[in-house]
């Protein structure tokens, strides 16, 4: 077992204070958006091995079966298939979707065949993997996730009182929903600058006026100021606004449009860089490929609540093999809890003081404060003691999927 040394990513949408408050550090004036934990080559965690600091990606590459176990290598190849983050948003992220495995594999192969460099700004597929993800709120958390029911979108558009939206309102009030969503979403991504400016003005005005929809419009009213003339602004109005209480989660599968707005959470995802952006960004937007990947269906409530497992962990159910996320909340006086080590795991403390003891050859002991984490390779059971909250990330057991 190893203590992880992790990297903070300073994206512009990040909070200046949330991560420092959790970590007990002094804000440095820059946005601190994400703290990465894992072996992703973009910002791999480091561990101390043989007296040297080494990237976790390099450690796994040197001995994948020893670190990950035969079952994980057989299912996912010689790589850690998940990435854990602490995410702290203080402004909207881009509106985006992720591909399914077949789309990612085909898109990656096609762009390779075209000779598009992996780091090209217009490249869409950076690897052949899908990217399902889940975020668990540590504070009140807001986001956009999945298409709202079409009649609700029609009512919002009607309230903006823009004559040229009448055909879109009529489409959204017709059945079935899928072709209506495809038609309106596609049209919004292709609006000319004049229409985008009118839409942004109307949205900002609606957010400032009293009325039954004011609170709903207030969620979207800041988008035109942050992203003037961006086609993601009208597209976002079709996507459901979600509020999470601490401990609640969102699961985001392939093709589901989403954008985080604000809050602090624990995020886990398949270790991939494949993002197709719809808007609210200055980065590349590949509209034809985006429309091929988006799933045009209204999404039932996307909120995920933990389920208590027999071993006492709260498990956040997700229909993927790449990751399994659970939470262990411990009180003073609780007995020791053993985490079985059949698969590799990353252990993150978010509250209190958690002590970990490995039964591996080195018998390592690690004490974690909030924001600190550890990595245990396959084959090491870890005993948990102390009082606080521990998140455990690993892969799903083979029989779960």
H or E element: which one contains 308?
A: strand 307-308
Closest residue by Cα to residue 93 from 281, 245, 239, 272: 281
Query: Using one digit for the tens of pLDDT, what is the confidence trace for 389-398?
Result: 999 999 999 8
The CA distances from residue 310 to 3, 330, 340, 371, 397, in Å, are 28, 15, 13, 27, 15
Query: Using one digit for the tens of pLDDT, what is the confidence trace for 69-100?
Result: 999 999 999 999 999 999 999 999 999 999 99
Do the first three CATH levels of 2-144+243-304 and 315-400 match, i.e. the same topology?
yes
Q: Give the tokens for residue 282.
A: 């200055």
Q: Give the tokens for residue 65.
A: 């079966």
**Predicted pLDDT at 401:** 47
Q: What's the CA gap between 40 and 35, in Å, rounded?
A: 12
Closest residue by Cα to residue 66 from 396, 361, 323, 374: 361
- Taking domain 315-400, whether its CATH number is 2.60.120.10 is answered by yes
**Predicted pLDDT at 175:** 80
- Taking domain 2-144+243-304, whether its CATH number is 2.160.10.10 is answered by no
Q: What is the mean pLDDT of residues 37-49?
A: 95
The verdict on whether omega for the bond into residue 176 sits within 30 degrees of 0, i.e. cis, is yes
Is residue 248 within 8 A of residue 292, CB to CB? The reply is no
Q: What is the mean pLDDT of residues 48-66?
A: 95
DSSP state of 299: P
Is residue 330 within 8 A of residue 387, CB to CB? The reply is yes
Is residue 231 within 8 A of residue 191, CB to CB? The reply is yes
The yes-or-no verdict on residue 399 having pLDDT over 90 is no
Is residue 262 within 8 A of residue 226, CB to CB? The reply is no
Catalytic-residue membership of 277: yes
Is residue 347 within 8 A of residue 373, CB to CB? The reply is yes
**Predicted pLDDT at 200:** 95
Closest residue by Cα to residue 232 from 278, 201, 197, 186: 278
Is residue 361 within 8 A of residue 347, CB to CB? The reply is no
**Predicted pLDDT at 62:** 96
Cα end-to-end span (Å), the chain: 28
Which stretches does DSSP call E strand in 90-235? 95-97, 133-137, 141-147
Q: What's the CA gap between 218 and 73, in Å, rounded?
A: 47
Q: What is the mean pLDDT of residues 18-29?
A: 96
Q: Give the tokens for residue 21.
A: 């408050």
Neighbour count for residue 352 (Cβ, 10 Å): 17
**Predicted pLDDT at 360:** 78
**Predicted pLDDT at 50:** 84
Closest residue by Cα to residue 302 from 101, 165, 145: 145
Q: What's the CA gap between 13 and 192, in Å, rounded?
A: 27
**Predicted pLDDT at 213:** 87
Query: Using one digit for the tens of pLDDT, what is the confidence trace for 201-237?
Result: 999 999 988 888 888 899 998 899 889 999 999 999 9
Q: Would you kindly state where each structural domain of the chain is located, as residue ranges? A: 2-144+243-304, 149-220, 315-400
Look at 1-5, 48-52, 72-76, 276-280 and tell me which has the smallest mean pLDDT: 48-52
The yes-or-no verdict on residue 55 having pLDDT over 50 is yes
CA quadruple 219, 9, 367, 386: dihedral, nearest 10: 10
Closest residue by Cα to residue 344 from 292, 301, 393, 389: 393
**Predicted pLDDT at 212:** 85
Q: What is the mean pLDDT of residues 40-56?
A: 94
Which stretches does DSSP call E strand in 67-112? 82-89, 95-97
Q: Give the tokens for residue 391.
A: 């998140």
Q: What's the CA gap between 59 and 56, in Å, rounded?
A: 5
pTM: 0.95
Task: Mention every residue, 6+ apart, whose C-beta is less than 8 A from residue 88.
Answer: 14, 15, 18, 19, 32, 33, 34, 263, 264
CA angle centred on 44, ends 89 and 13, rounded to 5°: 15
In the set 3, 79, 126, 277, the catalytic residue is 277
């Amino acid at each position: 077992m190893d203590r992880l040394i992790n990297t903070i990513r300073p994206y512009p949408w990040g909070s200046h204070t949330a991560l420092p408050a959790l970590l007990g550090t002094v804000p440095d004036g820059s946005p601190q958006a994400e703290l990465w934990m894992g072996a992703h080559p973009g910002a791999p965690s480091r561990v101390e091995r043989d007296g040297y600091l080494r990237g976790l990606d390099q450690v796994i590459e040197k001995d994948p079966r020893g670190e990950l176990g035969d079952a994980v290598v057989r299912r996912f190849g010689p790589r850690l298939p998940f990435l854990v983050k602490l995410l702290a948003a203080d402004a909207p992220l881009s509106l985006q979707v992720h591909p399914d495995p077949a789309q990612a594999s085909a898109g990656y192969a096609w762009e390779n065949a075209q000779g598009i460099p992996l780091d090209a700004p217009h490249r869409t597929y950076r690897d052949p993997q899908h990217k399902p993800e889940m975020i668990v709120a540590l504070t009140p958390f807001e986001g956009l996730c999945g298409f709202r029911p079409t009649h609700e979108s029609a009512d919002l558009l009607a309230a903006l009182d823009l004559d040229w939206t009448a055909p879109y309102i009529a489409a959204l009030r017709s059945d079935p929903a899928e072709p209506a969503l495809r038609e309106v979403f596609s049209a919004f991504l292709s609006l000319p600058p004049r229409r985008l400016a009118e839409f942004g003005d109307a949205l900002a005005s609606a957010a400032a006026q009293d009325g039954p929809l004011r609170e709903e419009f207030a969620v979207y009213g800041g988008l035109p100021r942050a992203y003037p003339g961006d086609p993601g602004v009208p597209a976002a109005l079709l996507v459901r606004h979600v509020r999470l209480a601490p401990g609640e989660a969102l699961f985001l599968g392939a093709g589901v449009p989403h954008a985080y707005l604000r809050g602090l959470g624990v995020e886990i995802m398949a270790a991939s860089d494949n993002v197709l952006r719809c808007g609210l960004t200055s980065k590349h937007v590949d509209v034809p490929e985006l429309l091929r990947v988006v799933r045009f269906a209204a999404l039932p409530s996307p909120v995920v609540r933990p389920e208590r497992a027999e071993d006492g962990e709260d498990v956040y159910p997700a229909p993927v093999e790449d990751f399994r996320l659970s939470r262990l909340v411990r009180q003073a006086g609780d007995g020791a809890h053993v985490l079985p080590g059949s698969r590799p795991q990353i252990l993150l403390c978010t509250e209190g003081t958690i002590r970990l003891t490995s039964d591996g050859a080195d018998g390592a002991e690690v004490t974690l404060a909030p924001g600190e984490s550890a990595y245990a390779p396959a084959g090491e059971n870890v005993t948990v003691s102390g009082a606080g909250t521990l998140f455990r990330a690993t892969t799903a057991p083979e029989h779960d999927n």
